[in-house]
Structure 1
Amino acid sequence: MIGERFTRDARQAVLDAVEEARRDAADAIGAEHLLLALLDTPVLASFDVPRAEVEAALRDARRKGGLSDADAEALRGLGIDVDQVVASVERSLGEGVLAGGAPKRRRFFRNHLPFAPAAKNTLVRGLAEARDLGHGTLGKEHLVLALLSGRGLAAEVLRAKGVDYTEVRKRVVSARR
């Protein structure tokens, strides 16, 4: 089973991500919920990653229908101003209408929140990171590396705060020596 190789802290981070998703009233546990659950990871301690700023960046992306700053910049290159589109939609349909997310899926178990594909991929990539570093267990630091190695909002938010995959990987290696 995948969870058998997780350290106690990594298991707790996954449980914390579930709680983040519930607080968010999300329909699934996403990579952004894992990010919020991992902000206290020691390998991130020397990076300036204030929780309030991360939460604000995630809220802003949700307001834009989940588009990251990189997505918005790419669309701007095509002549589409996402902020203008969002403002127009909100004038017509109400503030925050794009943040609503996907329609609710039917759950077989009432309290169970599924993992979104990006979150599942983060867990699998975390195991690969641990294996590639020769570590027998997956810790929170491997999940941070997995978030950074991928694309998407969680990785973009960390990078915007100066958190770099290569630097984090160096710190993980030196901490395990």
Structure 2
Amino acid sequence: MIGERFTRDARQAVQDAVKEAERASADAIGPEHLLLALLDTPVLASFDVPRGEVEAALRDARRKGGLSDADAAALRGLGIDVDQVVASVERSLGEGALAAGAPRRRRWFRGHLPFAPAARNTLARSLAEARDLGHGTLGKEHLVLALLSGRGLVAEVLNAKGVSYTEVRKRVVSAPR
């Protein structure tokens, strides 16, 4: 089972992601909640990524219905100005109307939030990252690598702050275990 290989710190990061999702009143635990829980990870802390800036970037994306800057640019290429669409929706339905998300789903297992498919994929990718590096346990650094290995909002936010998969992997490989 994947959880058996988690270090204590990695388990705590997942628990912190649950708290981040609950604090945000999310209907599921997503990659953005994992990111917020991992910002103090030594491999990320070495990039000096300010939490406030990450939260602001995630908030801006939520306001746009979860669209990343890459998504907005693609739509702009089709002649759709996402900022104008958001402004129009907010004029009609109120500020943050697109950020509200879907109605809350029934929670699983005595009130626990479910993991969104993207977060589950991140956890699975983190196991592959640990295995590829020859590490017998899965640490917080593997979770960070998994977040960066895919496309999407979290990777985009980190890349905008100068954090790349390649550089993080170099640091993980050179770090003493």
Same fold, judged at TM 0.5 (above): yes
> Secondary structure in 2 aligned to 1:100?
coil
Structure 2: gaps spanning 5 or more residues: none
Mapping for residues 89-168 of structure 1, pairs under 5 Å: 89-168=89-168
In 1, distance between residues paired with 2:55 and 2:65?
Answer: 15
In 2, distance between residues paired with 1:64 and 1:130?
Answer: 34
> Secondary structure in 1 aligned to 2:98?
helix
| Contact map agreement 2:122 2:146 (CA 8 A) in 1 | yes
In 1, distance between residues paired with 2:60 and 2:48?
Answer: 19
Larger CA deviation: 102-111 vs 11-20: 102-111
Mapping for residues 1-177 of structure 1, pairs under 5 Å: 1-176=1-176
| Contact map agreement 2:108 2:114 (CA 8 A) in 1 | no
Larger CA deviation: 41-50 vs 4-13: 41-50
> Secondary structure in 2 aligned to 1:135?
coil
In 2, distance between residues paired with 1:53 and 1:130?
Answer: 29
Cα deviation, 1:56-86, whole Å, max 9, x if unaligned, reads 0000000000001110011011110000000
In 2, distance between residues paired with 1:107 and 1:141?
Answer: 29
- Please, what TM-score do these two structures have when normalized by structure 1? 0.97
Cα deviation, 1:125-151, whole Å, max 9, x if unaligned, reads 000000000000000000000000011
In 1, distance between residues paired with 2:25 and 2:165?
Answer: 30
Question: How big is the shift at 1:176?
Answer: 3.1
In 2, distance between residues paired with 1:107 and 1:162?
Answer: 36
In 2, distance between residues paired with 1:19 and 1:165?
Answer: 26
In 2, distance between residues paired with 1:111 and 1:53?
Answer: 31
Structure 1: gaps spanning 5 or more residues: none
Amino acid at match of 2:57: A
> Secondary structure in 2 aligned to 1:67?
coil
| Contact map agreement 2:41 2:141 (CA 8 A) in 1 | yes
Question: How big is the shift at 1:44?
Answer: 1.2
| Contact map agreement 2:5 2:138 (CA 8 A) in 1 | yes
Larger CA deviation: 44-53 vs 79-88: 44-53
In 2, distance between residues paired with 1:118 and 1:52?
Answer: 23
